[in-house]
Amino acid sequence: MNGSLKSNYGIWEKLTKIDRRLIYLFLFLVVLIPLIYPFRLAPRAMTPVLKLFNHIDTIPKDKCLVISVDYTPDTEPELHPMTIALLRHAFSRKIKVGILCISLLGLGLAQDAISIVTNEFNSKALTRNDSVIYGRDYVFWGWQTPVLVPILGMGENISKVFPVDYYGNKTDTLEIMKTIKNYNDVGILVSISGSAIPFYYITYAQTQFGVRIGVGSTAVQAADFYPYINSGQVTGMMSGMKGAAEYEQLVEERCKIYARRKATDAMAAQTAAHLWIMITIIIGNIGYFILRRRK
Amino acid sequence: MSFNLSLKLISSIAFFIASAWALTPPESVTAQDNPNDAGQKILIKWTLSMDDSILDGYRVLRRKENETEAEVVGFVGRGRNYYVDENAIDTIKYAYQIVAVYDTITSPSTWSNYTKSSPQWIHTQRIDVIIFTLVFTFLILYFINQARKGQELFIRKIAGLLAVEEAVGRATEMGKPILYVPGLTGINDVATIAAMNILGEVAKKVALYDSQLIVPNTDPIVYTVAQQIVKEAYTQMGRPDAFKADSVYFVTDSQFAYAAAVDGIMTREKPATNFFMGYFYAEALILAETGAATGAIQIAGTDSVMQLPFFVVACDYTLMGEELYAASAYLSREPLLLGGLVGQDAGKVLIVGLLIILTIIGVITNLPVLKIF
Amino acid sequence: MKVRLPLILVLITGILGALPFIIPHRIAQNFDNEFRNSVLRIIAAFSLVLGVGSIVRHHIYKIQRRKENWEYSWILLVSLVITSIIGLFGGIEGNGSLPTRIGDFYFDIQTIYMHAAIPLGATMFAMLSFFMASAAYRAFRARNFEATLLLLAAFIVMLGSVPLSTYVLPKLPDFAEWILTVPNTAAKRGMGFGIALGSLATSLKIILGIERGWLGGTK
């Protein structure tokens, strides 16, 4: 009798002390399997994402969307789909786009996003008017540092901050730059970053020049931006991979753009990982409760 | 397609109207020295043109006193009614003219008054900060003075700091080293300075118990300071010979390479106690979880709010936010430092009190019932 | 003097560092810019020499004493020397005096950075998810009322962060967002408030020479 009680204790105690390597192994598997055999879980857009989408959707024709690609390769899985989704949205609505980088490592990522989306649009285009053309529909200004130089400078004159674009063209000679002179011509500026750069845009570009600011942030950092959404200093936000997936969903539903949705595809893996963590917590608590009751 | 056509049509009509009835110029142009700056800046303000909504923007012209020739100094978009000329010379007086621009059509305002730029010695918008800093300094000095006179000052117990002695003792008993990670920021960060203060106290206990201390650093300046602090601590405890210069060293300034190196130290050397004090980023949980896996007692302290939850779950004790700054006073029990701590709390009480009073005033003055009168 | 001189230096530089915040005059601003941009950069550059010296000394010591895993110290020292030579003489993208390619094999500093440093950094970052899982398993136990509340909040936010919740409990993501927007923000603001005052008080104590821990506790 005593022995069986002890062995029962053993089972429950084991539940409270699962080997961490076992937790790692299962986490690895639950992430891997949905990536190999994908199934789609389309998320519902939350208010901050919806606000961002609606604002961009209603940008007047004489204003543009500016995307500040401020992330580095380590946060690429979370943030890169945001840039791609924003570009798809803007090009489908014929909104002019300006792209810049404040983080040097963002240059390659911005170029990658531009290539992906322009190829998607141009491969389906039948006329020149349907195509996405550099210098007419979008401009890639390149990189400028230190952080306050482009943020403050663009309030006065964007061409002065970026006299030459990423490809070496004189910015002033581009057709698009006739309509984009400074923040007055910007419908919204979306800063996508895993660092503190969006805070600079909020503090300097929004406060001093009144330009609308959108944010794309990593999930772990998103909580820092809620006070700014509450105060209206940030118009809308995409937080983490789920935020990107929500935006992808809106672009597909409302703009009828059907293309690969990397963030949405990863949602199944993310959901599985979350569920696995919750299961381990429940298992640990079951063991803990039974042990406590018996003691 | 039709939208583009109608846009072109509207634009042509606007151009026709603008050419037929000339643009209304901006009015009431004034120029004044830009306040609170280092000089060489003049602030120009104007009333927007009646045709602002169709304009390209406003061109800003200036001319020197006793000269007739004007030069263009800037251009701002429509809807904006001010401009800061940042290229003025302090000794010269300037007047400004604002020209409304629509395509090739322009409409100039009258010239503004003459003014010159000058630097200021006090930033008038920051006087409140100066007052607050002075009050706060006074409070700290007052309580330090009280402490100096021998007045007993109460400080609540901080579990993480009470455990320091036990943690060092445990490492000695086990014959294993103590790992001290002083955060990832430079010496200019208050969190790093606080980490250095705690390191001094920890090093003294390590010297006393004759344990081994490992301090890997991510910043070369912090490394030199840390080395000096540990050396001084050993000397103060009368054991300069026991100090090993090799125990405090620089690893790398790359965030994740540093995390990998510290993880390596934890898995190879198996320290009995890990201290994580200072400012941390995403590597916080990587370090703390590896430490937990090796079975070490872990004491963390950070003012990085985002990383606090990670330390709370993975460490035995966590100093949260300002507790990190209070640690050196707590550990050393020096009256002067304790006095500073009480002064800091008094400042906090003052601010919270002010916030409550002002909130009440704000709510009361906006009550709908008051609007009846 | 050994103690007094650093304290005097801290007092002077501390006050000089704070004054440009309230004095916009160009004399104060120029001094501040010069101090921050030139003096501090020079100090930082020299400190890097100290840092490299430290790491080299540490690993040579390990090799000499044949300490545990001393073989890895060789890898570090050889990598340090080779990378430094490539960086100093090979240019950023292989446009320096030292050739940095053999046929199609490139080994310029940009390639090393893109194909070694970044993937290694990303790997360490990715390990975070594994550590989060094991930490959550160990920490979230309903030991008392507060812990239960924390556990529930964590569950709601975790469930609200995945699309599945939209199908099962449509209102849950909104509640998760409310937790993040209201109670979480309130707590963060409170913490921030204390941290700001604490750091101000610590700075004042250092400038006034009351806090001397950074001097090694010298009285």
Which chains would you list as touching C if contact means 3+ CB atom pairs under 8 Å? A, B
- What is d(CA C25, CA B122) in angstroms, rounded to the nearest whole number? 8
Residue B8 confidence class, pLDDT cut points 50, 70, 90: low
**Helix and strand element counts for chain A (H, E):** 12, 6
Hey, how many other C-beta atoms are within 10 angstroms of the C-beta on B142? Answer: 14
Residue B203 confidence class, pLDDT cut points 50, 70, 90: very high
Is the pLDDT reported for residue A68 higher than 90? Answer: yes
User: Hey, what are A66's tokens?
Assistant: 């500016």
Is the pLDDT reported for residue A250 higher than 50? Answer: yes
At B15 the pLDDT is 57
Helix (H) / strand (E) containing C81: helix C70-89
**Nearest CA-CA distance, residue C165 and chain B, Å:** 24
3-state class (DSSP) for residue C36: helix
Sign of CA dihedral A144, A145, A147, A150: negative
- Tens-digit pLDDT profile for residues C73-93: 999 999 999 999 998 898 777
Angle between helices C70-89 and C40-64 (to 10 degrees): 140
How much of chain A, in percent, has pLDDT values that exceed 70?
Answer: 97
Using alpha carbons only, how large is chain C's radius of gyration in Å?
27
Q: Read off the amino acid at residue B193.
A: I
At B1 the pLDDT is 44
With beta carbons under 8 A apart, name residues in chain A contacting B254: none
Q: Are B4 and B71 in contact (CB under 8 A)?
A: no
Question: Which is higher by pLDDT, C41 or B135?
Answer: B135
At B147 the pLDDT is 84
- With the CA atoms of A113, A114, A115 and A119 taken in that order, what torsion angle do they form, in degrees rounded to the nearest 10? 110
The verdict on a CB contact (< 8 Å) between A242 and C140 is no
Q: Which one-letter DSSP state was computed for residue A222? A: G
The verdict on a CB contact (< 8 Å) between A74 and C161 is no
The nearest alpha carbon in chain B to A75 belongs to: B282
Hey, how many other C-beta atoms are within 10 angstroms of the C-beta on A104? Answer: 10
At C144 the pLDDT is 87
Residue B9 confidence class, pLDDT cut points 50, 70, 90: low
Is the pLDDT reported for residue A85 higher than 90? Answer: yes
Q: Are C85 and C79 in contact (CB under 8 A)?
A: no
- Segments of chain B assigned E as strands: 27-33, 42-47, 57-64, 71-77, 82-85, 94-102, 105-108, 178-181, 213-217, 248-250, 273-277, 297-302, 317-320
At B13 the pLDDT is 64
The nearest alpha carbon in chain B to C76 belongs to: B251
Angle at C27 between CA C25 and CA C33, to 5 degrees: 100
- What is d(CA B118, CA B125) in angstroms, rounded to the nearest whole number? 17
Distance of CA B27 to the CA centre of its chain: 41
B30's CB contacts (< 8 A; 6+ apart) are B44, B45, B46, B112, B113
Is the pLDDT reported for residue A3 higher than 80? Answer: no
User: Hey, what are C38's tokens?
Assistant: 């030139």
At A211 the pLDDT is 92
CB pairs under 8 A between B and C: 212
Residue C2 confidence class, pLDDT cut points 50, 70, 90: confident
Q: Which one-letter DSSP state was computed for residue C96? A: S
At B365 the pLDDT is 85
User: Hey, what are C45's tokens?
Assistant: 């550059």
**Nearest CA-CA distance, residue A23 and chain B, Å:** 13
Distances (CA, A) of A215 to A89, A218, A243: 16, 10, 11
- Lowest average pLDDT, out of B4-18, B228-242, C4-18, goes to B4-18
Residue A1 confidence class, pLDDT cut points 50, 70, 90: very low
Cβ–Cβ contact B145 with C under 8 A: no
With beta carbons under 8 A apart, name residues in chain A contacting B256: 74
- Segments of C12-153 assigned E as strands: 101-102, 105-106
To the nearest 5 percent, what fractions of chain C are helix, strand and coil?
75, 0, 20
Listed residue (A208, A190, A178) closest to A87, CA to CA: A190
Question: C-contacting residues of B 63-82, CB under 8 Å?
Answer: none
The verdict on a CB contact (< 8 Å) between C25 and B120 is yes
Helix (H) / strand (E) containing A96: strand A96-101
At A251 the pLDDT is 95
The verdict on a CB contact (< 8 Å) between A20 and B306 is no
Distance of CA B154 to the CA centre of its chain: 30
Residue B107 confidence class, pLDDT cut points 50, 70, 90: very high
How much of chain B, in percent, has pLDDT values that exceed 90?
Answer: 50
- Tens-digit pLDDT profile for residues A12-33: 888 888 998 999 999 999 999 9
Is the pLDDT reported for residue B94 higher than 70? Answer: yes
Distances (CA, A) of A188 to A63, A81, A98, A132, A251: 9, 19, 11, 20, 17
Residue C37 confidence class, pLDDT cut points 50, 70, 90: low
User: Hey, what are A286's tokens?
Assistant: 């079951």
Helix (H) / strand (E) containing B188: none
How much of chain B, in percent, has pLDDT values that exceed 70?
Answer: 93
Is the pLDDT reported for residue B181 higher than 80? Answer: yes
Is the pLDDT reported for residue B195 higher than 80? Answer: yes
Average pLDDT over every residue of B8-25:
66
Mean pLDDT of chain C: 85
Which of A99-113, A272-286, C178-192 holds the top average pLDDT?
A272-286
Is the pLDDT reported for residue B372 higher than 60? Answer: yes
Sole residue written with tokens 């400004």? B96
Average pLDDT over every residue of A158-181:
92
Strands A186-193 and A64-69: parallel
pTM above 0.85, yes or no: no
**Nearest CA-CA distance, residue A181 and chain B, Å:** 8
**Nearest CA-CA distance, residue B194 and chain A, Å:** 23
Listed residue (C163, C127, C133) closest to A266, CA to CA: C163
CB nearest to C177's CB, from A47, A75, A280: A47
